[in-house]
Structure formats: C-alpha cells, structure tokens
Structure 1
Amino acid sequence: MRFGFLSEGTTPRGMTHHHRLHEVIREAELCEETGWDFWGTSEQHFAPGATIAAPETLYGAVAMRTSRIKLRFMSILMLKFNHPIKVANHLATVDILSHGRVELCTARSNNVKTLDPFEVDPSDTRAQWREGLEVTVKALTEFPMEHHGEFYKIPPIEVTPRLYREELFPIWVVTISPETHTIAGNMGLGAITNDSYLGWDHLGELIGLYRDACKTPDPIAQYPVNTALCFCPLTSHCAATREAAVEESRHDVTRFFRSTYDMYDQLDQRSGFEGINEIRKMKEHENDPLALAEFTPTIMIGTPDDLVERIKRLEAMGVDEIVLRIDDLGVSQHLKAIELIGKYVIPEFRGPNAIRRQSMWGDYGVEKPRFLT
C-alpha cells in the first residue's frame, strides 16, 4: 500500500493566497519527513476556496524543498485550454527540477463551473482527454514528434526540454464512472477512483470492472502499462480521538458533500449522471460525518486505528494506493494529521513487526495517552 497526500490549497475567508500556498509547501515537506510516498494537488479553476490553478508552478517550488517524495500531478485537465505540448513542457521541467520524481494523473473534468468559462462542451471532454494524453506522451517520448488528429494537427517539431529520466513516468487517470474504469484498464492506465458517495458495494463493482479491463491493456501511445489502483477519500482527517477528528473536520465533510451534490445535480440536468438518486438519499445525513462515513469510503476520518481498519478493508478489495485529501481544516490540523498518519498508520503497512504493542506504564495502573505527536 502506497500513501499519498492531496491538497487543493483551499483558502479560508480572511486568509491570503500567499499564506495558504506557502502552507501547502510546508505540508509537502512534512509528508516527505514522515514517510509518505507521494504528494500532489488537483488542478482547480473557479472553485470556491481551492486555489491550485497553476500546479506546475507550485510543483517547481516543492521540488526544490524536497528530495525523495514523488510529485504526482493529481488531475491535469487534458482539455483544449491546456495544450498538450505545454503540458509536456511543464512536466519535463518539473521532472528536471525534482531529479525524476514526477508522476502524472490526468482528468477530463465533470464540473460545469470549469467547462463553461473555457467554452468546453461536456460531450467532447472524453475525446479531448484521450487525444490530449496521446499528444502529451508523443511530445515527451518522440523526437521529433508530429500528430494529426481531430483536435490537434501538429507538424514535425522537436519539443524541449526533455525529461530528466530515460523512461516515461507512470500515468493514472481520474475514474468516476463505470465506463471510465473500463477505459482506463483497457488503455493500460492506473486509476484514481472514488465511490462518488455511492457506497462500498458500488466501489467493489468499479474495482471489478477495472481489474477485468486490465487483463488485456492496449496503450494508445508509448507509455508504460500501469495497473495501480488508487482510492481517494474526498474528505480525510486523523486525530488522537474520534471525537476530535469529527469536530475538526465536520465543516469540510458537510461542505464537500454539499458542493459535490450540487456539482452532480447540475451535471445531471445537463447530460445525466448515473447514481444521482442514491446521492440524493444521503442528503438527510449531510450534517452527520459518522453517518456518511458508515455508508461511503469517500469520508475517512477518525483515529489512526480507524484509518488503519478502513485502509485494510480497501486493500483487501484490491486497492494498491490511498491518497488522502486533507484540506480546509487549518494548517495546524493538517500538520498534526500528516504526522499521526506517518507515525501510526503507514508503519502498519510497512513494518508492523517494528511497532511497539505493549505499554510498560500499564504495569503501574497508568495508561499513557495514545497517538502522541
């Protein structure tokens, strides 16, 4: 099991973007110090609070402040406003600055608040994503490269800079719908998945679709086949007690559920969204994080023991990676959660035999508080 940290740079009311972006860099540094495998941000446009609109710039800063942790672009939008050659330029530059630590996850966006201002037809996003990915890979692996497709017609050109490494980095795609899980597996791409608040059984069905499709991968360009399945809880938090974890993250759980519900409701009105009725049933629990977490793995809050239990359940279902979105709780809570997970959760999957299981204080009738940071 590999562990990743996801930030969207959510900036609370009253704070400057300057302060929040520098906090995000501090969070990345602590992730490296405490043993996380990868760190990253999603690409966000016009989202309330979320501020990572130019991830390639932020990644350059993080690359210079870290030395080991992988830097995964969590959702580069492969749409026409992100020209794939520019995407290749950004990726190669960060790969050079980080000495070969870049990883890539692509996305096509289902948020009309992003699609409308950039004049993107929702019905074209899958085709734009597919061709954009193909062009980006060509730009990184072929020298010179050329392409003649529906959206891009590129004569023979030499794209620079080149990657730091010889081999291309692994590539994932954000997968929400059953169809996209099958497409990802068929194309030999890793998948970053989520149950979309539709529950554990729904997630199991998605995993089954992806694993079946991975049996006969057929890449569309010269990228290495990647069958790593990553699960991303949209709201995560870890504290020394369950009560603290719930209270410290309650606003984020409720806000994220409401905003996701609103996004899918708008999408359903535009082009339909399978599962919208199931999400509507959950609205009566929108203010109760534990009730929501009981139904959906997309909310992962609690003590280190709680997280270990849920991650082991995901591992048994066939999940290879977990990427925890910990954001909008205040930087002090973010840093505490990063440290708790690094000390008490990740070791359960790395070296369980090295963990101290007994307490010498119990012999004296004194129980030392658990999960100290």
Structure 2
Amino acid sequence: MKISLFYEFALPRPWSDDDERELFQDGLDEVEAADKAGFSTVWLTEHHFLEEYCHATAPEMFLAAASQRTKNIRLGFGVMHLPPPINHPARIAERVATLDLISNGRVEFGTGEGSSVAELGGFNIDPADKRSMWEEALEVSIRCMTEAPFTGFKGQHVEMAARNVIPKPLQDPHPPVWVACTRPSSVQMAAQKAIGALSFAYTGPEALKDRVDGYYKEFEEQGAPITPAINPNILAIGGDLSMMVAKNDDEAIKRLGIGGGFFSFGIMHYYLTGMHTPGRTGVWELYENAVKEDPTLAYGPGRGAIGGPETVREFLRGYEASGVDEIILLLNPRSHEGTMESIEIMGNEILPEFIERDALAVKAKAKRLEPVIEKVEARRQNWDAPLFDETYAFGGLPTGRGGKFTAGEIPEAMAEINEGRVKAAQAEKEARAAKEAAG
C-alpha cells in the first residue's frame, strides 16, 4: 500500500493579511519534506468559493511550484473539475501536460464532476448535466493530449474545432487517469471504464475491503477501457484519515488540536446541511461550537493516523490489510511545526516497511492482472473521433455576428508597426546620406 498526503488548504477565520501566503509557503516546505521522507504522492484538490474549508483553487500553480522543490513524489490533482464552465478541456490538457513536462513525468490526473451548490451554482451548472459534462470533457481533454492534431468534437456541452493542442505530456500516452468516487456506484463506474477510483471511505478498513474487492471484480468482468492507458487502481481518502504523528499519542493530539474533524464538518456544511452567506458565515466558528457540544467530532487515535509511531503503524496496517492500493492522509488545520516533525517521524520510523511491502505487492499485482488486462483490453471502447480533414486550415481575422470584425486592433497595430518601420528606415537613410555628405 502506498501512503500519500492530501491538501485542501483549509484556512479557519479570523484571517490576517499574510495568512494565505504563509499557508502556501508552509505547504511547499511540507511537500519538500514529504518527498525526502518517501511519501508516494501529494494530492491537491480544486475547489471554488468554499471559504475556510478549502483555499486550493488553482492546484496546478501549487503543484508546479512543488515540482521544482521535489524529485520523486508524484503530483496529483485530487481532483480537477472537468465541467467546461469551470475548466475548458483544451485548457485542462495544456495545464496537465505542462505540469507533466516540468515535473519530469510525475502527474496523476484526478478528475471530478463537482457537487457543491457553491461551485455548481457559482459557475451556473445544472447538477443534472454534470456527469455528461465530465464524460465529454474527459474524452476531449485526453484526446487533446494524445492526438496531433486533435480532430474536433461536437457534443452537448463541448464543441471544439480541430487544433493541435500543445504541449503534449511526457508520460506516454498520458498521465494516469482517476475519478472521484463518493458512492459504491461511482467506484463501479471507474472499474467499468478501467480508470483509477479515488474512493472516499468513511467507514474504516473493514468496509473498505468490500469496496476494493468490488472494484477489481467489476474491472475483470465489465472493464472496457475508454482512455488510451488504463489505470486499475483504487485508493482511499476520507474523514478518518487525518494525520498527526508525534513521539506519543498525547503529544500528537495536542498538536492536532480540534482540527482533525474539520474536513468532515466542512463537507457537511457545504454539501449537505449548511446555509452559507459568502464572506459572512464563520465556518470554523460553527465547527468550534459543534465540538463543544460533541467532542467526538475532533478526531484522535483510531480515527486517523494520529498518535505515536506504534499507534499510527497499527492504524495503517489495518488499511493495508483491506487490499487498497493507496491511502491519502489528510492535512487538516494543525500545527505546521508539528506537521514537519510528523512527516519526519513517518519517514524515519513508519514508511520504510510499507514502501518495501508495496514494491513486492505491485509486482505480484501486475502478474495477477496480466490475464485480466488481456480480457479487459479486448473490450476496449474507442472514442468515435472524426478523421482529420487534411484540407482544413484556419487564418485571417476573426469575425463576429453579421460578419463584423472583432479584432480590428490587430490590423491597426500592424499598420502602426509598419508605419514605424517605414519611418525608422527613412531616418536611417537620411542619416547615411548626411554622413556621406559630411565625409
């Protein structure tokens, strides 16, 4: 089992002017330390308008910065929102490919539909459309990464003419594809499409085993790849996977404070039960009051990788026994200094045994899946991409409705450049003539 880190970049109020800068700078220090410690991947979400709960609105920016301070840790979108009103598929392909190149091929392409009222409403997305938006955008973004040129697409939500989208990713044919899975049915869907399942698991490792077994059973029996490269993997993320490791359990609990339960509370607030006034509602204040009424909302040992090394080691072994390929440990609001020491302890005392066993497990899994993958590949469902029209070309000035020019500034600018070039040439000619006359 691989062990990774997950950032939402929660930032409880009250805020000072420097808090957001410090939040990201601390995160970069932590990811650099995690790379040295041996964590597998740093996953960073993308959310919008979820103040206090998540300030990770441009994951590619942070991951790009992290790529230049690390060497081995993989860089995961956990997840990028695919609905076109949020991210156009061509821009998705460009950003994912660019990050893959500058990181030397370390990108994990996690995808999702979005589900909060804040985000869907903020981008004017009808919740009934989000699954079909995801499906169209996934096809177009992957085709943009792999086709030279992309031959065009016309669907319900995306319409794009043929273009050669550049750059192309380093990983051939594209980075591993994942999809966020909040329900067993979405885990089943991921297996059917032969892509990775980013599975939210709130019920502990025992129930997770059924989900893992179900994913691989569905993959073997119904898997029909839709992407050029398959990714038969399932990982777990959830409210009970917060991390804080210290010399002993008491110190870990002290350093985490009440922050361990904020992820789950934030989900309830923004996705289920809360009413939110932008810029006014105090989410952390609501959480503090809820913890006063029910202290169990603040996680401790047994509800996360929280405690001394032995406590955390046993907690992780329980998840390893479920057969899950990877778990992501959440970094909820907590002490930065405590997190840096937590990462160090993980690297020195806990991760090595898991890394060693994972290497053996990966080899055994590859051998076990060889005949399965052969059957799955035989059911491959290729996208119905149009043939490229070799006579197609584009150029000239763009025009708007009624044939009106919409870029008149371009010819005006070119005329100005040409006028300046003519004047400069004339001045140079006159200067030479004057020099010759004087000489």
Q: Does 1:59 align with 2:63?
A: yes
Q: Verify the 8 A CA contact 1:327 1:334 in the aligned structure 2.
A: no
Structure 1 runs of 4+ aligned residues shifted over 6 Å read 282-285, 290-293
Distance 2:167 2:199 in 1: 31
- What TM-score do you get using the length of structure 1 for normalisation? 0.82
Q: Does 1:82 align with 2:67?
A: no
- Partner of residue 258, structure 1: 265
Structure 1 position 233, deviation (Å): 3.6
Specify the code of the residue in structure 1 equivalent to 2:327. Answer: I
- Partner of residue 119, structure 1: 124
Distance 2:164 2:356 in 1: 46
> Which secondary structure does the structure 1 equivalent of 2:100 belong to?
helix
Structure 1 position 115, deviation (Å): 1.4
Distance 1:291 1:93 in 2: 38
Distance 1:111 1:7 in 2: 18
Choose from 166, 170, 174 the match for 1:164.
170
Distance 2:168 2:196 in 1: 23
Q: Verify the 8 A CA contact 1:5 1:326 in the aligned structure 2.
A: yes
Bigger-Rg structure (1/2): 2
How far does the alpha carbon of each residue in 1:277-318 deviate from its partner, in whole angstroms, 9 at most, with x for none? Answer: xxxxx9999522688865xx6x33222222222222222212
Q: Which moved more, 1:228-237 or 1:185-194?
A: 228-237
> Which secondary structure does the structure 1 equivalent of 2:161 belong to?
strand
- Partner of residue 236, structure 1: 243
Return closer, same or farther for 1:304/1:71 CA change in 2, 3 Å cut-off: same
Structure 1 position 72, deviation (Å): 1.2
Count of matched residue positions in the alignment of Structure 1 and Structure 2: 333
- Once the two structures are superposed, the pairs formed by residues 130-141 of structure 1 within 5 Å of their partners are 130-141=135-146
Q: Verify the 8 A CA contact 2:263 2:332 in the aligned structure 1.
A: no
> Which secondary structure does the structure 1 equivalent of 2:156 belong to?
coil
Structure 2: tracts of 5 or more residues without a match:
275-289, 358-439
- Partner of residue 252, structure 2: 245
Q: Which moved more, 1:6-15 or 1:177-186?
A: 6-15
Structure 1 position 200, deviation (Å): 4.7
Q: Please, what is the CA RMSD of the aligned residues?
A: 2.4
Distance 2:254 2:47 in 1: 27
Q: Which moved more, 1:46-55 or 1:182-191?
A: 46-55
Specify the code of the residue in structure 2 equivalent to 1:41. Answer: L
Q: Verify the 8 A CA contact 1:109 1:125 in the aligned structure 2.
A: yes
Choose from 321, 331, 337 the match for 2:336.
331
Distance 2:230 2:311 in 1: 33
Structure 1: tracts of 5 or more residues without a match:
268-281, 353-373
Q: Which moved more, 1:61-70 or 1:181-190?
A: 61-70
Structure 1 position 335, deviation (Å): 0.9
Q: Verify the 8 A CA contact 2:77 2:108 in the aligned structure 1.
A: yes
Q: Which moved more, 1:234-243 or 1:152-161?
A: 234-243
Q: Verify the 8 A CA contact 2:253 2:307 in the aligned structure 1.
A: yes
Return closer, same or farther for 1:351/1:179 CA change in 2, 3 Å cut-off: closer
Distance 2:24 2:299 in 1: 33
Specify the code of the residue in structure 1 equivalent to 2:30. Answer: E
- Partner of residue 49, structure 2: 46
Structure 1 position 261, deviation (Å): 2.4
Specify the code of the residue in structure 2 equivalent to 1:17. Answer: E
- Partner of residue 107, structure 2: 102
Distance 1:306 1:123 in 2: 44
Return closer, same or farther for 1:283/1:52 CA change in 2, 3 Å cut-off: closer
Structure 1 position 264, deviation (Å): 4.3
Choose from 1, 19, 23 the match for 2:22.
19
> Which secondary structure does the structure 2 equivalent of 1:214 belong to?
helix
- Partner of residue 195, structure 2: 189
- Partner of residue 270, structure 1: none
How far does the alpha carbon of each residue in 1:25-78 deviate from its partner, in whole angstroms, 9 at most, with x for none? Answer: 111111111111211311121122221111111222111222222111111011
Q: Verify the 8 A CA contact 1:194 1:203 in the aligned structure 2.
A: no
> Which secondary structure does the structure 2 equivalent of 1:193 belong to?
strand
Distance 2:212 2:8 in 1: 25
Distance 1:308 1:247 in 2: 19
Distance 1:130 1:292 in 2: 39
